[in-house]
Structure 1
Amino acid sequence: MGAMKTPGVYIVEKNAFPNSVVEVATAVPAFIGHTEIADNRSKPLSFKPWRISSMAEYHQYFGFGPNPRFNIAVKSDPSALADFKAAGADNKLTEYVFEQPAGKDGGRYTLYNAMRHFFQNGGGPCYIISVGDYASDLDPDKFGRGIDELLKEQEPTMVVVPEAVLLKQPDCIGLQQAMLQHCGDKMRNRVAILDVWGGDKPRNDPGGDPVDLFRNSLGINFLNYASAYYPWLNTTVVGDKELSYENIATADVLQQLLRSELGLPETAPDGAALKDKEQIQAIADITKDWSKVEPAPTDDAILANKALLNKTLMTISPLFNTIMDLVKGKLNLMPPSAAMAGIYTMVDNSRGVWKAPANVSLSGVVAPAVTISAADQEDLNVTTQGKSINAIRSFIGEGVLVWGARTLDGNSLDWRYINVRRTMIMLEESCKLAAKALVFEPNVANTWVTIKSMVANFLTGIWKRGGLAGAVPEDAFSVHCGLGETMTPDDILEGILRVTVLVAMVRPAEFIEITFQQQMQKS
């Protein structure tokens, strides 16, 4: 208020309460990968973090999934076809194996299906960074550039790159190290969810233990800002209706196999039965070029004819159904990072960020790719090096559960648990954003009292919701600020206001011990 010079009555309003601290969002993952398009009304979205909240919005800005293509190749080693035989394939196929080329040749991009799995498991608002379309090859440098683009965004709290495991193992590890550096060194307000390269294989795989390879390659920097999960998951994301004979790139081999199964020649001889003629024609139509049909059919007519042909092949050939089941199984084998981002979101929304995202069932999952027992998990959970890998296990009558809640810094008493790391990030960011209102305020007792009250009120609310441990607020936290307490006269001269906050974090009951002992009969 200005100086009073004219006689009269003047009204002065004073704020009675400090500013409140608003809790920041805790479950906003950022996904980096390849998309069909990246467009917002003719404005390109490539390498631009873009916020969405549903698959409908994803379709609007980034299109749909790729068209996966599989080669049926001759393989002389029958042991490589164990999965094919297990699916009930005919003995005639013991010399064949299905291969999906990486990158554009095979449509092997997994971000789209990962997003579907994310929303299946409770996902919500998230960011998408498109690093290329389906005509681009997988390039570690582009993924790294996508991570760098996140430096401009304050909201994301998780970084997920589902397609990292499609790279070669050294490139995958290099990308994951870049994720760790981004989270733990550059931003310090988010965590990375990592997949184990080759996590679909058992630990006794002849090619090497994927978990040991992951641990030995990753390094030791910023491990408390990341978590990793093993094994991969057999999911139900891709359905039967999404696949057809067009997913087989080697159509000539497919025709040969189907004719061999049904005992049919390439062309119908004179006097052949009508049924044989129809089957021969259906198999021949697999390689039909619809662009040369006269008169030229409409696009809708072409789609209808292809759907009818696929249905016919499913009807006449059990072998074709087996092939489609195998293709579907390979597409549904997915790394768990996207699903875990959905689990983090669901647990945060229902229980709070301080609840460990474990002992929770996964949706859209048939079974883990590798069966893990309690004994198998011992080395995953507790190791001398401290790089804890969280297990995903199947339990009878309960389904597939997340059975681990540790960061990669498993030997640290401070940052062993994911919920502790993420809760601390939430507290730090919330108080940091609220304290910006006091920057350049007088560094005096009134400001100190204001900031202490502001932080204490916020922490009291978190304690009431179960986010801090303690029977009373005084046991759960304390806030210190003042000359001689957290600051020296030199600090004030240098313009520094120091606040010290002590919090008692909630840690999960990872091991529960129930002791039984016999006692003497009393009656």
Structure 2
Amino acid sequence: MPQYLSPGVYVEEVPPAARPIAGVGTSTAGFIGVGLGDADMPLKPGSTTDHFTVAAAGVPQLITGWEQFKNSFGDFQKKKGTWSDADYGAYLQLQHAVYGFFNNGGTRCWVIRVAAAADLTNVADDLAKFEPIDEIAIVAIPGATAKAQQEAVLDHCEKLLDRVAVLDGVESPAALTAGDISGGTRDSSFGALYFPWLKVFDPASETNINLPPSGHVAGIYARVDATRGVHKAPANEVVRGAVDLERRLGKADQDGLNPAGINVIRPFGGTLKVYGGRTLGGDDNGEFRYLSTRRFMNFLRESIDEGTQFVVFEPNSPALWQRITRSVSDFLLNQWRAGALFGETPKQAFFVKCDQDTNPPEVRETGQVVTEIGVAVVKPAEFVIFRIQQLTGG
């Protein structure tokens, strides 16, 4: 308490009883792929021997635009005699994935370069380098369709609980079944798989080539987050930069894939659209069958976690309980107003309970303060049904 020694007017700054919780970012991506070596980088202006320096292999690099990516990893290039077909193919997949990410609405991503396609066989070590980067919310290894690779990305996302994996289906599966397209990758609500591959114009070869969709789809996530919010399913959205599909699927094809969580990209009236918004496993994932639900719950968990750090070591009393309730309730009220929570009133959309019931003496004695939160998350209108009947005029 301040000490007052003489009469007068004293003005003091008083901290608010409840601190606002800011929503965390949801659209920063993390990519891993094959990049150029120093000798493959462009020459510096006016030099015949001095090349630009490529970003160090195995070190995450923050990229905020295509021009910055070119400065760090190089522009599109034709295949050189020293490159193997596997290395050059993986190089194209990373280049076009990052370009597609920014072209479809992405604004920030972290990129890890590996030297060769063989280095993508075991990606666990590189994925571990993404762990300290808290802003990453989307993870992709473009073109990595092997079961071990995809499950490593799923393990990474399930461990951290604040990001999702964008997976590519097999380019040319033996059959149009969920198992063949996913390559046998296990179900997970922390991942979404997209099929088929895209046809994209390659400026280096000046031809259309087949490329995995994960980079373009990650950009669509960012675009929808910015325009509608993370609660909106990133589906029924145009894929910018794709000129065609490796194969065109229709409704009958999707009928057999959608329940298993294979998100199909389909042609509609001259445009190509992502026409699925499910997590890998679909119906088997229960309440997390929809990708928007998983991503929104990740967003809530992370936002509340970061926004209530002020609580640690505060006196565990009813005054603290009221501050927690007010902070979390105000945050959820904003989510309800944004259309992310279902209910005609805030009371129907969510509840926050932090009181004597959740914090009895035995809980307080262990140094814990417990808050129970319930939310009614809106679900996407996946099946739009109109029932029409003919009335007899009278």
- TM-score, normalized by the shorter chain, greater than 0.5: yes
In the TM superposition, what is the alpha-carbon distance from 1:449 to its structure 2 partner? 0.5
Counterpart selection for 1:235 from 200, 206, 213: 200
Given that 1:158 and 1:190 are in contact with CA atoms closer than 8 Å, whether structure 2 keeps it comes out as yes
- Does 2:124 correspond to 1:144? yes
Given that 1:226 and 1:407 are in contact with CA atoms closer than 8 Å, whether structure 2 keeps it comes out as yes
- Computing the radius of gyration over CA atoms, which structure comes out larger, 1 or 2? 1
- Does 2:339 correspond to 1:500? no
**Structure 2 partner of 1:180:** 154
- Does 2:307 correspond to 1:434? yes
Runs of 4+ in 1 over 6 A off after TM superposition: none
Equivalent residues, number: 379
- The separation in 2 between residues aligned to 1:214 and 1:362, in whole angstroms, is 20
**SS of aligned partner of 2:15:** coil
In the TM superposition, what is the alpha-carbon distance from 1:107 to its structure 2 partner? 7.5
In the TM superposition, what is the alpha-carbon distance from 1:513 to its structure 2 partner? 1.1
Q: Deviations over 1:404-460 (max 9, x none)?
A: 111113123310111111111111111100111111111111111001101111111
Q: Deviations over 1:329-383 (max 9, x none)?
A: 3xx211111110011011111111111111111111122211111111111101x
Given that 1:101 and 1:108 are in contact with CA atoms closer than 8 Å, whether structure 2 keeps it comes out as no
**Structure 1 partner of 2:65:** 54
Unaligned runs of 5+ in 1: 71-99, 166-171, 244-323
Given that 1:409 and 1:415 are in contact with CA atoms closer than 8 Å, whether structure 2 keeps it comes out as no
**SS of aligned partner of 1:157:** strand
- The separation in 1 between residues aligned to 2:53 and 2:178, in whole angstroms, is 44
Given that 1:54 and 1:119 are in contact with CA atoms closer than 8 Å, whether structure 2 keeps it comes out as yes
Given that 1:131 and 1:142 are in contact with CA atoms closer than 8 Å, whether structure 2 keeps it comes out as no
- Does 2:293 correspond to 1:420? yes
Given that 1:121 and 1:346 are in contact with CA atoms closer than 8 Å, whether structure 2 keeps it comes out as yes
Counterpart selection for 1:516 from 370, 378, 388: 388
Given that 1:36 and 1:65 are in contact with CA atoms closer than 8 Å, whether structure 2 keeps it comes out as no
**Structure 1 partner of 2:32:** 32
> Which one has a larger percent strand, Structure 1 or Structure 2?
2
In the TM superposition, what is the alpha-carbon distance from 1:64 to its structure 2 partner? 2.4
**Structure 1 partner of 2:112:** 129
- Aligned identity (percent) is 31
**Structure 1 partner of 2:252:** 375
**SS of aligned partner of 1:103:** helix
Q: Aligned in 2, Cα 1:109/1:398: closer, same or farther, shift over 3 Å?
A: closer
Counterpart selection for 2:97 from 89, 114, 125: 114
**Structure 2 partner of 1:217:** 184
Q: Aligned in 2, Cα 1:195/1:351: closer, same or farther, shift over 3 Å?
A: same
**Structure 1 partner of 2:139:** 159
- The separation in 1 between residues aligned to 2:104 and 2:110, in whole angstroms, is 17
In the TM superposition, what is the alpha-carbon distance from 1:139 to its structure 2 partner? 2.1
In the TM superposition, what is the alpha-carbon distance from 1:141 to its structure 2 partner? 5.0
Q: Aligned in 2, Cα 1:43/1:497: closer, same or farther, shift over 3 Å?
A: farther
In the TM superposition, what is the alpha-carbon distance from 1:68 to its structure 2 partner? 2.3
- Does 2:95 correspond to 1:102? no
Given that 2:55 and 2:61 are in contact with CA atoms closer than 8 Å, whether structure 1 keeps it comes out as no
Q: Aligned in 2, Cα 1:414/1:445: closer, same or farther, shift over 3 Å?
A: same
Counterpart selection for 2:275 from 386, 395, 403: 403
Q: Give 2:150's aligned amino acid.
A: Q
**Structure 1 partner of 2:48:** none
- The separation in 1 between residues aligned to 2:270 and 2:348, in whole angstroms, is 37
**SS of aligned partner of 2:30:** strand
Q: Aligned in 2, Cα 1:231/1:216: closer, same or farther, shift over 3 Å?
A: closer
Unaligned runs of 5+ in 2: 42-51
In the TM superposition, what is the alpha-carbon distance from 1:479 to its structure 2 partner? 0.6
**Structure 2 partner of 1:467:** 340
Q: Deviations over 1:96-137 (max 9, x none)?
A: xxxx82126x775420121112222112111111122xxx34
Kindly report which structure 2 residues correspond to 1:53-452, keeping only aligned pairs within 5 A, or say none: 53-68=64-79, 101-103=85-87, 109-132=92-115, 136-141=116-121, 143-165=123-145, 172-184=146-158, 186-197=159-170, 199=171, 201=172, 205=174, 208-209=175-176, 211-215=178-182, 217-220=184-187, 223-236=188-201, 238-239=202-203, 242-243=204-205, 328-329=207-208, 332-382=209-259, 387-395=260-268, 397-411=269-283, 412-452=285-325
In the TM superposition, what is the alpha-carbon distance from 1:62 to its structure 2 partner? 1.9
Given the two structures, how large is their TM-score scaled by the length of structure 1?
0.68
Given that 1:69 and 1:107 are in contact with CA atoms closer than 8 Å, whether structure 2 keeps it comes out as no
Q: Aligned in 2, Cα 1:144/1:401: closer, same or farther, shift over 3 Å?
A: same
- The separation in 1 between residues aligned to 2:232 and 2:74, in whole angstroms, is 35
In the TM superposition, what is the alpha-carbon distance from 1:13 to its structure 2 partner? 3.8
**SS of aligned partner of 1:217:** coil
Bigger mean CA deviation after superposition, 355-364 or 10-19: 10-19
> Which one has a larger percent helix, Structure 1 or Structure 2?
1
RMSD over equivalenced CA pairs, Å:
2.5
**SS of aligned partner of 1:139:** helix
- The separation in 2 between residues aligned to 1:140 and 1:37, in whole angstroms, is 16
- The separation in 2 between residues aligned to 1:335 and 1:127, in whole angstroms, is 18
Q: Aligned in 2, Cα 1:65/1:190: closer, same or farther, shift over 3 Å?
A: same
